[in-house]
Amino acid sequence: MNDLRDFAEYLAGRGVASPEEVTPVIIAAHLRALTEIGLSSKSIARKMSSIRGLFKYIVAEGLLKKDPTEGLKMPKLPSSLPEVLSFEQIEKILGAINLEGPRGLGIRDRAIIETLYGTGARESELINMETGDVYKDIGFVRLFGKGKKERLVPINDSALYWIDRYCRDVRPALKKDKRTPTLFLNVRGGRLSRMGLYKIVKGRSDTAGIEGVHPHIFRHSFATHLVEGGADLRAVQEMLGHEDISTTQIYTNIGKEYLHGLYHKYHPRG
Active site residue 142: no
Euclidean distance between CA atoms 8 and 4, whole angstroms: 6
Asked if residues 245 and 237 have their Cβ atoms less than 8 Å apart, the reply is: yes
Catalytic residue among 52, 191, 202, 216: 216
Active site residue 216: yes
Active site residue 179: no
Active site residue 251: yes
Active site residue 122: yes
Q: What is the DSSP letter of 185?
A: B
The torsion of the CA quartet 206, 211, 217, 223, rounded to 10 degrees, works out to -100
Active site residue 30: no
**Residue 117 CB neighbours (<10 A):** 23
- From residue 82, how far is each of 25, 30, 142 by CA, in Å? 36, 31, 25
Give the up-direction half-sphere exposure of residue 15: CA atoms within 13 A in the CB hemisphere.
0
Catalytic residue among 30, 171, 219, 225: 219
Catalytic residue among 46, 165, 242, 258: 242
Residues forming beta bridges with residue 143, ordered by sequence position: 151
Catalytic residue among 56, 146, 168, 260: 146
Catalytic residue among 122, 171, 204, 220: 122
Q: Which helix (H) or strand (E) holds 217?
A: helix 216-228
Active centre residues (catalytic): 122, 146, 216, 219, 242, 251
